[in-house]
Amino acid sequence: MIARLKGLVDAVGEDWLIVDVGGVGYLVFASARTLGALPGLGEPVALDVETHVREDHIHLYGFTGTAEKDQFSLLTSVQGVGAKMALSVLSVLGPQDLADAIAHGDKTALTRANGVGPKVAQRLINELADKMPALPGSMPGLAGGAGGPGGSAMAGRAAAPGGGVAHDAVSALVNLGYRPADAQAAVARLIKDAERDPPLADLIRQGLRELAS
């Protein structure tokens, strides 16, 4: 089983990337948060990986760290929740946010994910309340990717603008180590300059570039 990949970012799609490891390209599915935090094409990246083996395919799922990977495993253990839905949840809720949503029974937060309705959200809360540990820290950054100073996920939620893609982007940037005020300012500038509302992955990626400049 493949548990970790270290290589170069070869290509990035809507819900996947290709990691070039010694000339071999591995197709890895990932959340919007992970994709948005990737370094540029040709840059080094390291991902924790969960391998799903089925009769007709082998799929790799990549994560920024063990917290996200462990939560993916817990999510997919819930009846009716497959890998695609689990990645959808992880795209809008970072590890700390997800742990808080489960602990507090926050169905509204969970239903922000595509494909998650009130019934599925309640099932997630019921089945994971005693299984998902509270997370004391923020999500680590990608090895070989962008990083930044200070900040915590709790502060990010307090500083983020209310609801929607902007809130999710600010939360993701704070989870990757940037200060809440800097993340909020960067996202606000990007949304102001955009002709239309950008997808979450694009907003996170552009925010990382702006914060790193």
Question: Residue 154: is it exposed, middle or buried by C-beta count within 10 angstroms (0-12/13-18/19+)?
Answer: middle
Distances (CA, A) of 175 to 8, 60, 81: 23, 23, 25
The boundaries of every CATH 1.10.8 domain in the chain are 153-212
Least-confidence region, from 45-59, 113-127, 161-175, 181-195: 161-175
The CATH code that applies to domain 66-128 is: 1.10.150.20
Single pTM value for the model: 0.65
How much of the chain, in percent, has pLDDT values that exceed 90?
45
Overall average pLDDT of the 100-107 stretch: 92
The CATH code that applies to domain 153-212 is: 1.10.8
Least-confidence region, from 7-21, 44-58, 78-92, 126-140: 126-140
Whether residue 58 contacts residue 51, with contact meaning beta carbons closer than 8 Å, is answered with yes
Per-residue pLDDT tens digits for 17-31:
999 999 999 999 999
The CATH code that applies to domain 4-63 is: 2.40.50.140
The boundaries of every CATH 1.10.150.20 domain in the chain are 66-128
pLDDT at 188: 85
Radius of gyration of the chain (CA): 16
pLDDT at 175: 64
The boundaries of every CATH 2.40.50.140 domain in the chain are 4-63
Per-residue confidence band for 70, with pLDDT thresholds at 50, 70 and 90: very high
Per-residue pLDDT tens digits for 118-175:
999 999 999 998 888 755 433 444 544 433 333 333 333 333 444 467 777 777 777 6
Least-confidence region, from 57-66, 120-129, 203-212: 203-212
